[in-house]
Chain A
Amino acid sequence: MANISISARNLSKNYGKTHAIKEVDFDIKNGEIVGILGPNGAGKSTILRILGGLTTADSGTAIVCGLPVADNSLETKKKIGFMQENNPLPEELRVREYLKLRAELKEIPKEIIATEVRRVMDLCDLFRTARRKIIRTLSKGFKQRVGIADALIGSPDIIILDEPTIGLDPHQIQGIRKLIDMLRTKHTVLISSHILSEIEKNCDRVIIINHGRVVAEGTKQDLADEFVNENRLFVTIEGNATIFSNYLDEAMLSYQIDTTFENEKNMTHFTIQSPKTFIISNFIRAIENFEDCNLLGIYLLKPDLESIFLAATKRSWEEEMNH
């Protein structure tokens, strides 16, 4: 268990009569980048706030770097860099002043505060552009960078980022993504998001939360194996596609058609759902025998996180209904 950074053991938390999270259980290893994925109100922020020592669980134990958070919240906070959802910052301070204050509060030795603040500003590309700016005047993207720079101060073992890309434009999202990528292996990173592509691109492992419960956990491949029961093939046909459509109908495969004309050739693209047992080589041989219809391309579409997420949440709803 020595290489476990974060452990959640049966965490439950209620707000009044509402169950925010219920018996949440997971482990995160050192140096992993893990995404917590879930719809709005699923309980992602509550889990992160419990791990960050901002609130306490009604039952269960959160363990950070081997220490139970509830009993050692000041100690565990020293090991965590936390950026909250919406990243609230004191608007009247300048970026450098704010980061200096945070470094002091995080008990960074006085003699290295300036160097440390410079390091995190360089890392987040704040030094050249924004160090003297008042936080109020910064764009949303730069404010997020300030929040991440704050989380990085003191090189904590664990970085927790709650919705780091919320409200950002694509350029800013790409910047933040690069920044998170730079943290790989140096820190254990826990990111929450409801944006699937974010988690897909950044994270080694995903924890899917729905209605306050962990409904799936693992690498994208693990989750695909567990939740996706069919392959998706992308096939491009030239010529008379009716023969091919009839073949698919006979084989009882569901498909979508998109016809295009490129270089005066009549090309038809099929996206086909097939069972996992489907043998593609037989399929190719069958197509080769068709007249007036040539196979131009075929490739297997990898299951995306969206389909995994939808399958996992659907299964959790079905289980809840059955109960």
Chain B
Amino acid sequence: MRHFFILLRHEVRLLFIAPSTYIAALLFLLLMGFIYWAIIRNMTLMPQDSSAINQFFSLFWLPVFFSVPLLTMRSIASEKNQSTLETLFSAPVPKFAIVLSKYAAAYILYCILWLLTLYFPYITASALPETISNASLTNSSAIMGSILFIAISGWLFIAVGIFTSSLTRSQLVAGMLCFTFLFILCVGAQQLEYATYAYFESGTFIYETIQYLNVFRHYQDFSLGIIDTRPFVFYGSMSLILLSFTVYMIES
């Protein structure tokens, strides 16, 4: 574990000195700010079924599609390209520690970016106190549930990014692969559920499996405050599998 923490400190430092990190963060916050502003504007125009925070986090997939590739595409691909990964291998460092440190560094940044969006409700509540009720804006159970979902789904999303970064030497290709994998992961299961809805009865094994894979269904549960252990197992185990594949990829 000593090597992991040394490398994690190094990776976090590299992320924070890289201008691309700040560009990604700025784009992320601008996009999320715009989305939040649009949601608030809609709420002032017509009554809505769900709270602003629920609507906001239900669009989690949108920033995930561009921020995760941006945060992870460089991690292994560029090291492969510059052969610096080989230099790391010449030190007595376990390969899993190398992969895990890159994963953890990207995950920390991902979480920081999402945590920054939590200012939005509080900024709105203080800037527009008369427009929308504070309780609706800063509903703590909805915030906690949503942010918990973001945190655990991030395990898998970042693992996808790290894995795709290990498949190629090109950052661009890594980014495109990551986007494609995330798209299939998020939208694929949802579309599969819609497509098979008419063919499989609720409660059957196949229907349950498709539902188990549906990321949007996980979000719905979390946003309602339902903390189920199955998503923890799903995201945790899938992340571990992908990270193991990543170790295999860099070894080969």
Contact = CB atoms under 8 A, between A and B. Distances in A.
Please indicate whether A and B come from the same complex rather than being unrelated chains.
Answer: yes
Interface of A: 52-54, 74-75, 77-78, 80, 82, 84, 86, 88-92, 101-102, 104-107, 150
Contacts of B208: none
Contacts of B92: 74-75, 77-78, 105-107
Given A91-B82, A92-B14, A105 B93 contact: yes
Nearest to A76: B92
B2 A54 contact: no
B94 interface: yes
Contacts of A107: 2, 92
A105 B84 contact: no
A101 B94 contact: no
B17 A106 contact: no
Interface string B7-33: 100100010011000000000000000
Contacts of A150: 87
Contacts of A84: 83, 86-87, 90
A78 B92 CA distance: 6
Contacts of B87: 84, 88-90, 150
B91 A102 contact: yes
B6 interface: yes
B17 A92 contact: yes
Nearest to B3: A105
A78 B10 CA distance: 21
Nearest to B5: A104
A102 to B, nearest CB: 6
A163 B131 CA distance: 70
3 interchain residue pairs of minimum CB distance: A88-B83, A77-B92, A82-B90
B29 to A, nearest CB: 24
30 contacts: A53-B89, A53-B90, A54-B89, A74-B93, A74-B94, A75-B92, A77-B91, A77-B92, A82-B90, A84-B86, A84-B87, A84-B90, A86-B83, A88-B82, A88-B84, A88-B86, A88-B87, A89-B84, A90-B14, A90-B82, A90-B84, A90-B87, A92-B17, A92-B18, A105-B3, A105-B88, A105-B91, A105-B92, A105-B93, A106-B91
Contacts, number: 52
Contacts of A91: 82
A102 B3 CA distance: 11
Contacts of A102: 91
A89 B85 CA distance: 9
Given A104-B6, A105-B3, A107-B2, A52 B90 contact: yes
Interface centre among A53, A82, A86, A104 (most CB of B within 10 A): A104
B6 A77 contact: no
Nearest to A49: B86
Contacts of A106: 91-92
Contacts of B2: 107
A84 B90 CA distance: 9
Nearest to B92: A77
Contacts of A75: 92
Contacts of B94: 74
Contacts of A90: 14, 82, 84, 87
A293 B88 CA distance: 67
B59 to A, nearest CB: 34
A79 B17 CA distance: 33
Contacts of B91: 77, 102, 105-106
